[in-house]
Amino acid sequence: MQTTTRTAGFALAPVPVLVLALALGARTAEPAALAEPAALAPAPAAQEDGEEIEDKREAVKDLCDAFKDHIGERGEQDNEAIAVMDQLLQEFPRSGPKDRKLIAETIGKSFGERRRELEGGVLDNKLYIAAAVCLGEMAPESTKVLTKWIGNKKHRKDLALQSQLILSLGRAKDVKEIDTLVDLMKDDSPTIISAAIQALANYRDADQKYRKEIVEPVMRILIDAKTAVDDDVTDTIARELYDTIAAPCVTTLQELTGHDERAPEGWQTWWNKNKKKDWDGEE
């Protein structure tokens, strides 16, 4: 399974999605910036339109069993596990509901495995990051797995992993998880807050009822963060928060509203004028 990464408007060469996963902050305790994986190209269908999808396939079961065997080897076979995960990712779109559920739950077992620290006290989290990226492509079956491990005490301090879990939850585009993502904006970590804001941009195609539920808290945290910086220019904590979330806030607001605005105070003015209007109606 491959995806294409885009940077500054230029398409780079396709790379396997799990190689991309390892580049998204794996082995880093505090990522400076996070970017969601580009959308994956759909896997070729395994059946013609109208033909029943084969479920409970032995091939899927064998892959899941192999994956569990690899992840149980205390990190010695994580590269092999990631290779099997890539196969499961390719099988997922071709699978029936029972196999889809099995695949998502099996990959979720990665997070229950303990991994050693590398030199310098950095956790070897490449398996976790890869699993989080994969689960972002397996909604809705993966939603419960993702929410189980967001904030879980076993991985709470791994901000790179937590951020990727949050981004993957956003890719599920499940309106029932909007409150979960909005609540994550109350976290103490600017990194987690930023990830939640980025994840909410995925609801750009949701009904405007839901988009309005997102826009107001995102706008509010942007304005409050800017006000805190303006009130005390020596407040380094306020500055860190604003510098981390400002760009994601503006991008998410633009995605959800279709309005091009950059300044926090400009968003407040726009919201006051448009919060009760039909955003999807013609001008």
Is residue 202 in a domain? yes
Single-letter amino acid code for the residue at 176: K
Q: Report pTM.
A: 0.85
In a domain, 280, yes or no: no
Residue 6 is predicted with a pLDDT of: 34
Residue 198 located in a structural domain: yes
**Per-residue pLDDT at 119:** 79
Both 226 and 118 in one domain: the answer is no
Residue at 225 is within a domain: yes
Let me know if residue 47 belongs to a domain: no
Let me know: does 131 contact 24? Beta carbons within 8 Å: no
Residue at 50 is within a domain:
no
* pLDDT given for residue 175 in this prediction: 96
Side chain identity, residue 247: A
Same domain, 145 and 189: no
Domain extent, residue 240, equals 176-274
CA distance 162 to 199: 12
Note whether 3 and 119 are same-domain residues. yes
Domain termination residue (choose one: 153, 172, 191): 172
Residues 15 and 106 in one domain: yes
- What pLDDT is attached to residue 281? 79
Asked whether residue 72 falls in the same domain as residue 149, the answer is yes
For residue 86, which of 57, 56, 66, 115 has the smallest C-alpha distance?
Answer: 66
The tally of domains found in the chain comes to: 2
**Structural domain includes residue 283:** no
Regarding whether 222 and 146 lie in a shared domain, the answer is: no
Task: Please check whether residues 152 and 97 belong to one and the same domain.
Answer: yes
Q: Distance between CA atoms of 91 and 18, rounded to whole angstroms?
A: 15
Asked if 31 and 76 sit in the same domain, the reply is yes
**31 shares a domain with 106:** yes
Tell which of 143, 172, 201 closes a domain.
172
Q: How many other C-beta atoms are found inside a 10 Å radius of the C-beta of residue 156? A: 14
Residue 96 lies inside a defined structural domain of this protein? yes
Per-10-residue mean pLDDT, the chain, length 283: 37 44 46 42 48 89 97 94 94 96 98 89 90 95 98 95 97 96 98 98 97 98 97 96 98 97 95 95 58
Among the candidates 113, 140, 172, a domain finishes at 172
